[in-house]
Amino acid sequence: MDLTNKIAVVTGANKGIGLESVNQLLDKGAVVYGICRNGCSTKHPNYTCLTADVGNLEQVDAAFNIILEKHGSVDVLINNAGLGYFGYCEDISVAQWQELFNTNVTGIFYCTRRVLPGMKKAGTGHIVNIASIAGLEGYPQVSAYCATKFAVRGFSDSLYKEVRDFGVKVTCVYPGSVKTDFFRHSENIKPHDNMLMPADVASQIVFALESPANYHPVNLEIRPLKPRG
């Protein structure tokens, strides 16, 4: 896909992989909308920040109504918004469990269902879901987060089979540890330079988006070469 003048939506766009994806899409000439809970810092003539919690259906619908009323359809959706809580299963609160699923899983559903009709009608489009290697294998004290990312994996695997005949691509990305503030809720893991860099992960997302029309990158697993130095 040539990203020039394409309409792209990025959730969780104010930091980490989301922010880097926004910047690289803008560099490619896309018209980008960022959806963030607390506002965005990016300033660019082709960038619009919309405030919404992806786990809140009314807020998601309000944001996409603005986009779709102006453009009619969306070419690229990057479902990046997510969070993690760490601890033994019995120590994860019900509120934390629900917040994890609302953000990491339900939010992807809310956003995806708004862009699919336009993409299918146009016969083109690309949805990128940011999962995690925690969606490929389980880890101790990460059971709740793993559950959400396994759900993203299953959703993505089913979705690409639903929409491929309509010309719509779905790519699920499985990054290893990324140097962001994702680990702010972890007592044992702190960001360090041997983790993946957000800009590098974003570059691979853009590479997938720019793939030829009949080339479908379905799963993209990215790990640090030497995670512990």
- Residues designated catalytic: 145
Residue closest to 170 by CA, chosen among 212, 211, 128, 133: 128
Which residues have CB under 8 Å from 18's CB, separation 6+? 10, 11, 12, 34, 78, 80, 81
What's the CA gap between 92 and 128, in Å, rounded? 28
Instruction: State the pairing for strand pair 7-11/76-79.
Output: parallel
Beta-sheet strands, E only, within 133-215: 168-175
- 185: which DSSP letter? G
Token couple for 126? 């690309």
* Token output for 75: 């070419």
User: What is the C-alpha separation between 40 and 29, in angstroms, rounded?
Assistant: 19
Residue 145 and residue 86: Cα distance in Å, rounded? Answer: 8
The CA distance from 81 to 69, in Å, is 23
